[in-house]
Amino acid sequence: IKKIGVLTSGGDAPGMNAAIRAVVRAGFYYKLEVYGIYRGYEGMINNDIRKLENKSIAHVLERGGTFLKSARSEEFKTIEGRQKAYDNLKSHGIDALVVIGGDGSLTGAHLFYKEFGIPAVGLPGTIDNDLFGTDLTIGFDTACNTAIEAIDKIRDTATSHDRLFFVEVMGRDAGFIAINAGIGSAAAAILIPEKKFPVEKLIDRLKFREKAKKESNVVIVAEGGKSGGAQEISEKVKKILPTYDIKVTILGHLQRGGAPSSFDRILASKLGVSAVEGLLHGKYDVMVGIINNKIVFTPIKRAIVDDKQVDDEDLRIAGILST
Ligand code: ADP
């Protein structure tokens, strides 16, 4: 391997820049040429590929977003699109890839390796934390910090007006952000897609808290919940508790932005270096993650198919803290 390409794909996450930087630095350390592929697989198909230099990665570690930009590419899901992408990589002499993204992006890398034999190592870059094969994904910690900071502010106004707030956080069909944000912000309840939380139980909890003279109530709702998002749940509760002053806040994309936390910078840096070393040691078609503080390579096929479970213990603790 002499020339590697690096790209960020799918939903962006804070810490992606730190990961790119680590890949480039490690590449140079091992005397490789490193090419930046812009806008994910779209750039691979449109030949938006440029050689990266030291100056390309100056002052990017601490910045949110991804300077390589990210995109979703429908064309890459077709064999014709992937053929174009392969031809472009070959025209630059790129012989291996580091793909930073979520399960969709890693699925693409796995398919591309199977069809065209381009070795790829994936880095888990998503705020959702929904990838198997790593305790935490790049961007998750920052997103939790951002959510908690926002919820703190909502609590101030909730307390001042004795209001009940439903705050919707991101996470697609996973409840990891909701659980952490809920524990970290003293939520009255946490509603996640993975576990049933009937409205009756929520009503009981709220009444109990009323008796206990709790000053404010913030309920955290994960966006992908089976009984709907924050808006739907709030409407159900309003019907049963019409005297409650209920408000809804959807945090949305602000959870994707901002400077990466120290944790995400360090995680992304370690994983970026390990990805390059993995490629050099013949570890292909794998995702690199950290489990129990150790670098672990997991076949991409497993990382995308196996479900990462939310920790029941976390939910139990959240329950104790809110009742
Ligand atoms: P994420 O990586 O955050 O999960 P997506 O699911 O949108 O985001 O995937 C990002 C990109 O990865 C897609 O736009 C597409 O180009 C590529 N991709 C996703 N799934 C596949 C697939 N089954 N085959 C080929 N490419 C895919």
Token pair 């808290």 is at which residue?
209
Residue 29 CB neighbours (<10 A) = 11
Nearest CA to ligand 1 atom 19: 104
**Residues in binding site for ATP:** 11, 72-73, 102-105
- Span 165-189, mean pLDDT? 97
Q: Does any ligand 1 atom lie closer than 6 A to the CB of residue 195?
A: no
How remote is the CA of residue 272 from the centroid of ligand 1, in Å? 20
- Span 231-253, mean pLDDT? 96
How remote is the CA of residue 157 from the centroid of ligand 1, in Å? 40
> Which residue, 11, 320, 285, 323, is CA-closest to 174?
11
Q: Does any ligand 1 atom lie closer than 6 A to the CB of residue 107?
A: yes
Q: Is the model's pLDDT at 225 over the cut of 90?
A: no
Please name every residue paired with 3 in a beta bridge, in sequence order, or none if there are none: 33
Nearest CA to ligand 1 atom 16: 73
Name the band, by pLDDT with cuts 50, 70 and 90, for residue 219: very high
**Residues in binding site for substrate:** 126-128, 163, 170-172, 223, 247, 253-256
pLDDT in tens, 100-141: 999 999 999 999 999 999 999 999 999 999 999 999 999 999
Q: Is the model's pLDDT at 213 over the cut of 90?
A: no
Q: Does any ligand 1 atom lie closer than 6 A to the CB of residue 105?
A: yes
Statement: the pTM of the whole predicted model exceeds 0.90: yes
Q: Which residues are catalytic?
A: 128
How remote is the CA of residue 39 from the centroid of ligand 1, in Å? 12
Q: Does any ligand 1 atom lie closer than 6 A to the CB of residue 42?
A: no
Mutation choice for ligand 1 from 16, 38, 107, CB with most ligand atoms inside 8 A: 107
Which residues, other chains included, contact 136 with Cβ-Cβ below 8 Å and sequence gap of 6+?
Answer: 129, 263, 267, 290
How remote is the CA of residue 65 from the centroid of ligand 1, in Å? 18
What SS3 class is residue 22?
helix
- Span 255-284, mean pLDDT? 98
Largest CA distance in the chain: 70
pLDDT in tens, 13-37: 999 999 999 999 999 999 999 999 9
Q: Which of 10-14, 45-49, 195-199, 261-265 has the lowest mean pLDDT?
A: 195-199
Q: Is the model's pLDDT at 203 over the cut of 90?
A: yes
Q: Does any ligand 1 atom lie closer than 6 A to the CB of residue 142?
A: no
